Amino acid sequence: MIQIKEQIVGRHLAYKFQEKLDNWQWDWQNRVRPALWAPWCFLKNVWHFRKELWLFRAFDYSYNLKMFTRSLEITADFMESENTVSENAARNAKDIRKFINFLKIYAAPLEEAERLTGKDLTKLCESCIFDENEARNPELTELVTLADQIEASSWKRAWKLIARRGQYWWD
């Protein structure tokens, strides 16, 4: 009878010890570790986004697009690394890069129009006289019209791509 009682007490103590160990592990995983990890993650994110944060202005959405672009660049870099789990990581990284390229074209449509036509905006503007009575330079008008079309099409293509494939851009 005494042996059985000692076994029961021993088991009870073992269960109590295991319970304490489980509680300690839970505390470490859910309280202590995040408290130590969160400042490191914050500082790492500040470092990754330092250029965008430095230039950020709340009144212009282009800065939000720059933050989003930088976030996607980091995601694409990760998907191109060896640390990915997903089978489609390479394809998703390629789609992300394509989206980023569309946003870059959207941000500078005149440069893209110059590249496509081979015309230089600065040379075209040298001969311009900004007077309402003077005839407009047709080449300049054509370049600006093309830039407007490029801007609109790159915007549409970017958001069409993200609507179609954006939900898969995680790993």
Q: Which amino acid is at 37?
A: W
Q: What is the pLDDT of residues 8-31, one digit of tens each?
A: 555 666 667 677 767 766 666 676
Phi, psi of 22 (to 5 degrees): -60, -45
Angstrom distance (rounded) from CA 99 to CA 69:
9
Angstrom distance (rounded) from CA 20 to CA 65:
49
Q: What is the pLDDT of residues 110-169, one digit of tens each?
A: 889 888 888 887 777 766 666 565 556 777 788 889 999 999 999 999 999 999 988 888
Would you list the domain boundaries of the chain? 1-48, 58-168
Angstrom distance (rounded) from CA 111 to CA 59:
25
